Structure 1
C-alpha cells in the first residue's frame, strides 16, 4: 500500500512490462501518419505471471489524460508467453475474391516501458512510464503515447448490452466462469478485479486520468533507460528487426 498526495490508500494489483504497437493498413508498408494506421494496441506482460495480454485500443490512439477522453478496447489474445503474442503481430496474407492476395503489414513497436495496475477508492488505474523511445516524437505524439500517464480502467459486464455499433459481437465477448461473472454484481462495469482481463474478448474502458501517476497515486514505476541490446521489445516480446520495423521504437519516426 502507498500514500498518494491526497492521502488516499493505493493498492498495487499488478505490475510488469508494457509494449505499445500499431499495425499499418493493408498493403501500406510505409505509413506516414495516423491515417495509415489500421490498428493500435498494447501488450501487458505481468511480472511473475504466466499470462500475457494483447489488448486493442479504439480510435487508434490512447485517450488524452488532460481531456479525460474515453476509449473502448478489448483483449484480443491471452497467451502463456510473449513469444506467442509476437506471432499475432507478424506480417500476414489473405485471399480476396476481387483483389487476389492481400498483405497485412507487420506491426511496428511504438514504445516500451513499465506499468502498474493499482486500485484507488474502488477504481482500477493503469499507469505506465516509457523506457523507449528516449524522447517522445512524431509517432508517439500521433498515438498519444506520453512519457508517462494514467487511465481509469473498467471492465464491461458481457451480460449487459452495448451501445449500437459499439463493442464486440455477443459471440466474441468474454465467457467468464460463474464465480468471476458474479464479481460484476449486476453492474455494467467492474472497476476492481484485474483478473477479468485474463479472458479473450474482455472489453474495457480507458479514461484519461493523470499525467503524473507517481505523484498522484504514490506509486513507483521504476522505469530505466534502454537501448537495442537491452530493449524488452526485442528480448522479451521477440519483435526483431528482421520481422518488425523498429525505427518507431528507437527514433520515434514513421517508417
Structure 2
C-alpha cells in the first residue's frame, strides 16, 4: 500500500525536457538574468508528433519552496524538435532609430526527463515534473533553476481576462477548437487535458511545489549524466556549435 506521502498517480505523458535562454539584443556576454531576453522550455513527448516550445515569464522556473507562480505561453508547436531550431537561431534586423540589431541565438542550459501526471484526490490534478541533469539549472548556479522538482500546471481559458499586467495581447491569444474550449467548462483555468498545450499561444501558470517528486511518488525519471557526444538536446534540436554556444549546458556558467 502506498504511504500517505506517495500518491497513486496516472501518468498521461512523459518525455525529454530541454531548457534554453536567449540573451538580450546586442548582449554577447550575459552575466545575470537581467542580460536575458527569454527563457524557453521544450517538451518532447514520447511517441508524439508534436513538440512544444514554452516561453516562461521571469526568465526562470518558479521556486518550489516559495510556491512561486510564473506566467507563460506556448511560443511554437513543431512536428519535431529539430524543426524548432530555426526559431532559436541568431536574428539580425534593421531599425530606423538604432540601425542594425543583433539578437543572439538561444543557448542550451539544461536537459532531462519529465512526467505529466494526474494524481488521485488532488485539487490540482495535473503536474509537470522535471529533473534536469545539467549543472546550469541547479539552484546554486546563476540560472537559479533546480535539479529536480514538481510544477503544478494550469492552462488559462482565453475567453477569460488575464490578471493586470500579465498575459498575451488579444491578437496573440489562441483560439481553441470547440472541442478543446469545452474543456474549460466556463472556468478561468483547466488542468485536465494536456492537449490544451498543443496550440500556439496557449497561456499557462506554473506553480512551484514539491522538490523531490521521484521519492514522493516512487517514479523514475531516467536521467543520466551525459556529455556533449551523448546529449539528447544537441542531437534532437540539431544545435550546431557554429550557431549556438553550448558551454552553459555542461559548465553551468553563463556563456
- What TM-score do the two structures reach when normalised by structure 2? 0.94
1:186 alignment partner in structure 2: 186
Gapped runs of 5+ residues in structure 1? none
1:240 is the counterpart of 2:245: no
Residue by residue, what CA displacement relative to the aligned partner does 1:78-135 show, whole Å, maximum 9, x if unpaired?
0001111111110001111111110000111110111111112352111111223488
Query: How far apart are the structure 1 equivalents of 2:4 and 2:223?
Result: 20
* Residues 1:4 and 1:46: Cα distance change in structure 2 (over 3 Å): farther
Shift of 1:215: 1.7
1:6 alignment partner in structure 2: 5
1:56 is the counterpart of 2:55: yes
Q: Is the 8 A contact 1:63 1:70 kept in 2?
A: yes
Shift of 1:174: 1.5
1:115 is the counterpart of 2:138: no
Matches within 5 A, 1:1-255: 5-120=4-119, 121=122, 122-133=124-135, 136=138, 141-255=141-255
Aligned CA-pair RMSD? 1.7
Q: Is the 8 A contact 2:50 2:77 kept in 1?
A: yes
Query: How far apart are the structure 2 equivalents of 1:74 and 1:91?
Result: 21
* Residues 1:149 and 1:137: Cα distance change in structure 2 (over 3 Å): closer
Query: How far apart are the structure 2 equivalents of 1:187 and 1:130?
Result: 33
Q: Is the 8 A contact 1:5 1:218 kept in 2?
A: no
Runs of 4+ in 1 over 6 A off after TM superposition: none
Shift of 1:144: 2.6
* Residues 1:66 and 1:78: Cα distance change in structure 2 (over 3 Å): same
Query: How far apart are the structure 2 equivalents of 1:201 and 1:11?
Result: 27
* Residues 1:65 and 1:102: Cα distance change in structure 2 (over 3 Å): same
* Residues 1:172 and 1:240: Cα distance change in structure 2 (over 3 Å): same
Shift of 1:143: 2.9
* Residues 1:157 and 1:246: Cα distance change in structure 2 (over 3 Å): same
Residue by residue, what CA displacement relative to the aligned partner does 1:173-219 show, whole Å, maximum 9, x if unpaired?
11111011000010000011100000000000000001101122332
Query: How far apart are the structure 2 equivalents of 1:96 and 1:7?
Result: 55
- What TM-score do the two structures reach when normalised by structure 1? 0.94
* Residues 1:154 and 1:229: Cα distance change in structure 2 (over 3 Å): same
Query: How far apart are the structure 2 equivalents of 1:157 and 1:135?
Result: 30
SS in 2 for 1:143: coil
Query: How far apart are the structure 2 equivalents of 1:129 and 1:165?
Result: 31
Query: How far apart are the structure 2 equivalents of 1:7 and 1:77?
Result: 35
Query: How far apart are the structure 2 equivalents of 1:220 and 1:245?
Result: 30
Shift of 1:220: 1.7
